[in-house]
């Protein structure tokens, strides 16, 4: 473990370089600005933030408020640091698809790094099936006017989470994902929609329901003619509590 309070930029650079060389978890509380290039681009002006460099190559930049990072890079990114022009620059590059996150640090208030060990098994109460069943019972949480036709309808290669009929008498395939849905969930939904269209010879919509979407997935949904609805877990918890659903297990 190495911890520095109000180090100079040179001291901070040397500490970050040591952390990266040894594959350590490193956290900086610093005045910085952030730039991102990739499938989109963004710039975050100067401010005081927490920067986390994780052992798997992921990077998180947190503002003083909120639980989600304002910028991030996924595991497997290549991390590097340089000291130039009175700035400590931390760079995270992902090769496929290419993305680059650059954090320019002007002042460091606190820096610490060490090798962390965490081999505990993560156990989550509740499951996608709990969310699926609650949405089947309360389709208005997805869209007004939906009527549930079937839960876990078997099709070739898998099963549709929920099959609805909308107000215009169109079939609606709903795929439910806990957490952040990626491109694989979109392609899975696309396959189910196409199979049902061929099987029944009628119009079928597809809706992906999840807490969030991975970067770039919204564009894929649009290109495939599919839709997205965000799950509000707090709202689900409240409904589950009122209805005595198994989702109340999440709250214990």
What is the tens place of the pLDDT at every residue in 73-102?
A: 999 999 999 999 899 999 999 998 899 999
The stretch 15-21 carries a mean pLDDT of 97
Highest mean pLDDT among 20-34, 155-169, 236-250: 20-34
Predicted local confidence at residue 245, as pLDDT = 56
pLDDT at 133 over 90: no
Q: 110 exposed, middle or buried (CB, 10 Å; 0-12, 13-18, 19+)?
A: middle
Predicted local confidence at residue 122, as pLDDT = 53
More confident residue, 9 or 245: 9
The stretch 235-241 carries a mean pLDDT of 73
Q: Which residues pair with 107 in a beta bridge?
A: 31
Q: What is the pTM assigned to this prediction?
A: 0.54
The stretch 213-228 carries a mean pLDDT of 93
Strands 147-155 vs 99-114: parallel, antiparallel or unpaired: unpaired
Which is nearest to 46 in space by CA: 30, 60, 59, 58?
A: 30
Predicted local confidence at residue 249, as pLDDT = 42
pLDDT at 139 over 60: yes
pLDDT at 244 over 70: no
């Amino acid at each position: 473990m190495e911890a520095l309070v109000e180090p100079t930029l040179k001291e901070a650079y040397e500490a970050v370089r040591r952390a990266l060389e040894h594959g350590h978890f490193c956290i900086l509380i610093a005045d910085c600005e952030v730039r991102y290039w990739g499938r989109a681009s963004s710039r975050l002006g100067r401010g005081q933030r927490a920067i986390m460099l994780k052992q798997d190559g992921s990077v998180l930049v947190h503002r003083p408020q909120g639980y989600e990072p304002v910028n991030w890079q996924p595991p497997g990114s290549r991390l590097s640091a340089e000291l130039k022009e009175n700035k400590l620059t931390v760079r995270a590059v992902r090769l496929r698809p290419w993305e680059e996150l650059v954090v320019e640090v002007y002042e460091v208030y606190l820096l610490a790094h060490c090798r962390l060990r965490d081999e505990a098994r993560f156990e989550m109460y509740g499951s996608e099936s709990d969310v699926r069943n609650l949405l089947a019972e309360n389709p208005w949480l997805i869209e007004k006017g939906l009527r549930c036709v079937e839960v876990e309808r078997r099709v070739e290669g898998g099963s549709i989470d929920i099959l609805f009929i909308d107000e215009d008498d169109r079939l609606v395939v709903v795929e439910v994902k806990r957490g952040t849905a990626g491109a694989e969930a979109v392609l899975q939904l696309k396959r189910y929609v196409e199979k049902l269209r061929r099987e029944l010879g009628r119009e079928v919509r597809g809706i992906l329901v999840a807490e969030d979407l991975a970067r770039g997935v919204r564009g894929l949904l649009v290109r495939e003619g599919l839709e997205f609805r965000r799950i509000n877990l707090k709202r689900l918890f409240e409904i589950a509590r009122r209805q005595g659903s198994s989702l109340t297990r999440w709250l214990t």
